[in-house]
Structure 1
């Protein structure tokens, strides 16, 4: 599954699907962005060597199928979370998401949105002596806003919340992932 997720995400973003674009409906779009990822409880009992924040990037494609509703598919990958410098404990997360978006237009090229869907994730916990891989499905929710700079070029900000991502090795447990990203997207 480790090699399948990036391939599916690349295919989904490289070949945007065509929406029925009429009236206020929008053509398909693709985007790329980056930002910060953080875990809610990863460092609670691990001391000062633990860093539960890192950078992340996301590529995505979507389309507005109705005037206020759209769908999106994307791939998100985090850099390594340094959970313990002393024991070289690192965690990496990546996954494929499929979400529905509800848009609230605020002007000609500006709107806010809420989203919900599924996140198919893969975690890899590297400890000095072992590697623990886990996969699973979690709910992905979020909110965001986008502004059109031109007819085709938009900038966007997102906050996403993914509960119950498991990176367990027996001592650790599941945690909640938060993502704050800024993106640039192109509307076809």
Structure 2
């Protein structure tokens, strides 16, 4: 037991020294990054109420420690009910406001526009629709290494999937929770 505690303390000391060394590089004001995330989403509105998963790729940058811009590509899985199923994907552009709480941890909010495509299948047939609607989110980032951060984020995508003459197919909000990594350059 004493040996396990000693190994645990040694491991914490090694990790904290790595974080301290990374702080000099990470405290730069501006940077660019690429990222990837995986998470779950919940479709709200109409009959879309199943929990599903999705993935996202992003490219962004910060002009200073507080303000950034991000472009993302998001791929949702199939969702829907017994009568109607849908498959959505799209790309977004968002402005990010970040509040650094420590040298290795911060919280942020973002808002932007999401350009989407949705394929809808039902007993009445199939249809495709597309559009652009706003989205917003909040999250936290935690630096794991000099150039690597982990994010945890909640987003809401407002998608107007209204297909003319189809009952039960209307506006759908997609609520997402994701975990991801960002590689900083």
Unaligned runs of 5+ in 2: 1-24
2: CA distance, partners of 1:96 / 1:63: 16
Name the residue aligned to 1:175.
Answer: 172
1: CA distance, partners of 2:159 / 2:117: 12
Q: Does 1:122 align with 2:117?
A: yes
Which of 31, 43, 56 is the equivalent residue of 1:27? 31
Count of aligned pairs between the two proteins: 159
Do the aligned residues in 2 keep the contact of 1:123 with 1:133 (CA within 8 Å)? yes
Name the residue aligned to 2:61.
Answer: 63
Name the residue aligned to 1:159.
Answer: 154
Structure 1 pair 166–28 and aligned structure 2 pair: CA distance change class (3 A): same
| Deviation digits for residues 48-71 of structure 1 (CA, Å, limit 9, x no counterpart) | xx7532111100010001231000
Which of 68, 93, 96 is the equivalent residue of 1:98? 93
More helix by share: 2
TM-score, structure 1 normalization: 0.78
| Deviation digits for residues 158-184 of structure 1 (CA, Å, limit 9, x no counterpart) | 111122431535212112111111101
1: CA distance, partners of 2:57 / 2:79: 20
TM-score, structure 2 normalization: 0.79
Instruction: Please give the residue correspondences for 1:71-82 in structure 2 after superposition, counting only pairs within 5 Å.
Output: 71-82=69-80
Do the aligned residues in 2 keep the contact of 1:133 with 1:167 (CA within 8 Å)? no
2: CA distance, partners of 1:99 / 1:37: 19
Name the residue aligned to 2:127.
Answer: 132
Structure 1 pair 33–139 and aligned structure 2 pair: CA distance change class (3 A): same
Secondary structure in structure 2 of the residue aligned to 1:76 = strand
TM-superposed deviation, 1:42: 2.9
Do the aligned residues in 2 keep the contact of 1:99 with 1:118 (CA within 8 Å)? yes
Structure 1 pair 116–51 and aligned structure 2 pair: CA distance change class (3 A): closer
Do the aligned residues in 2 keep the contact of 1:168 with 1:174 (CA within 8 Å)? no
Which of 45, 53, 56 is the equivalent residue of 1:41? 45
Name the residue aligned to 1:12.
Answer: none
Query: Which of the two has higher C-alpha Rg?
Result: 2
Do the aligned residues in 2 keep the contact of 1:123 with 1:167 (CA within 8 Å)? no
Do the aligned residues in 1 keep the contact of 2:150 with 2:182 (CA within 8 Å)? yes
